[in-house]
Amino acid sequence: MDIQVFNTKDELNRAFTEKVKEMVSNKKKDVVTIALSGGSTPKSLFDYWAQLPENEINWEKVKFFWGDERCVPPSDDESNYKMTKEHLFDFVPVPEENIFRILGENDPATEAGRYGELLNRELETMNGMPSFDILMLGMGDDGHTASIFPHEINLWNYPDNCVTATHPVSGQKRVSLSGEVINAAKNVFFLVTGENKADKVKEIIEQPDTAKKKYPAALVQPESENLHWFLDGEAAKLLSQPTSPD
Ligand code: 6PG
């Protein structure tokens, strides 16, 4: 498990971008598949990508997917797709055919089935599971990741590629990758910032055995073993061995 702590969000975004650039510039790969996380953390990353020099990343090689989506229309302010369009796609030349949004306007169970099949068609497989090249994850201050929440931690082992979930407070329906697909990714990056995440970051990194019983984020253990926690100082402040900021 690679844990890196950065002084600022900007440094974190730059470091993650370097990893993405490395993979996209790999001549052996014609396409790089990335699953984006939603919520507020990725906004500053997408804003950073939007101001990069035009040829910094060959976006035409990148196929964009999501780790989860709120079951709302793409025009809704709650939509992860809408947020990504407004902070990224409106500024960088991503071919329309490279954007595979979860159709939040559809019936959740139907969409979970459709998206799960789409992943089987679009992604390389690892041990029979669709495998993303890069999987971005956020973590809620309750220890959820993607849209698998602690009160529905049983969804983690759901046999299908995608599950339908429910936000514990708002009751909002979500479509999310299941734990099996999350752990089949070749490279998993948690991008976690903010003091409100610090206690769960500490518990998950320092007491994984108890954390695994409570928090879906603690169950992220990719087969590839390429798991990276990119933290800002606030989110890392309670760690016993504070990793020096990069
Ligand atoms: C979502 C996300 C979710 C998010 C965490 C952290 O759809 O909300 O995919 O898993 O990553 O809730 O959200 P923040 O970045 O807003 O703290």
C-alpha to C-alpha distance for 44 and 12, rounded to whole angstroms: 10
Tell me the C-alpha distance between 203 and 100, whole Å.
34
* Spacing, Cα 40 to ligand 1 middle (Å): 7
Give the whole-angstrom CA distance, residue 204 versus residue 206: 6
* Residue 243 binned pLDDT confidence (cut-offs 50, 70, 90): low
91-136 per-position pLDDT tens digit:
999 999 999 999 999 999 999 999 999 999 999 999 999 999 999 9
139, 229, 234: which to mutate for ligand 1, most atoms within 8 A of CB? 139
Pocket test for ligand 1, best of 16, 37, 40 (most atoms within 8 A of CB): 37
**Tens of pLDDT, residues 184-215:** 999 999 999 999 999 999 999 999 999 999 99
Ligand 1 atom closest to the Cα of residue 197 is 17
Over range 26-30, report the average pLDDT.
93
Distance from residue 42's CA to the centre of ligand 1 (Å): 9
Instruction: Please state the φ and ψ torsions of residue 67, each to the nearest 5 degrees.
Output: -80, -25
- Alpha helix positions (H), 25-169: 41-50, 80-84, 108-122
- Mean pLDDT over 2-11 rounds to 96
Query: Mean per-residue pLDDT for 165-178?
Result: 98
User: How far, in Å, is the centroid of ligand 1 from the Cα of 96?
Assistant: 24
Burial class (CB in 10 A: 0-12, 13-18, 19+), 226: middle
Tell how far the Cα of 27 is from the centroid of ligand 1, in angstroms.
32
DSSP string across 95-121: -GGGB----TTS-HHHHHHHHHHHHHH
Domain-wise residue ranges, the chain: 2-232
Whether residue 15 has pLDDT greater than 50: yes
Quick one: which atom of ligand 1 is closest to the CA of 194? 17
Residue nearest to atom 2 of ligand 1 (CA): 38
Residue 30 one-letter amino acid: D
Residue 138 pLDDT greater than 90, yes or no: yes
Nearest to 181 by CA among 214, 148, 208, 140: 148
The topology (CATH level 3) of 2-232 is: Rossmann fold (3.40.50)
Say how many Å lie between the CA of residue 136 and the centre of ligand 1.
Answer: 11
User: With contact defined as beta carbons under 8 Å apart, do 87 and 46 qualify?
Assistant: yes
HEC string for 158-218: CCCCEEEEECCCCCCEEEEECHHHHCCCCCEEEEECCHHHHHHHHHHHHCHHHHHHHCHHH
Which pLDDT score, from 0 to 100, does residue 246 have?
45
Q: Which residues line ligand 1 (CB under 6 A)?
A: 37-41, 67-68, 80, 138-140, 144-147
| pTM: predicted TM-score of the whole model, two decimal places | 0.96
Between the CA of 70 and the centroid of ligand 1 the distance, in Å, is 11
The pLDDT value given to residue 241: 75
Q: What is the pLDDT of residues 16-26, one digit of tens each?
A: 999 999 999 99
pLDDT at position 242: 56
Ligand 1, residues 41, 69, 101, 141: which to mutate, most atoms within 8 A of Cβ? 41
* Nearest one of 141, 150, 144 to 199, comparing CA atoms: 141
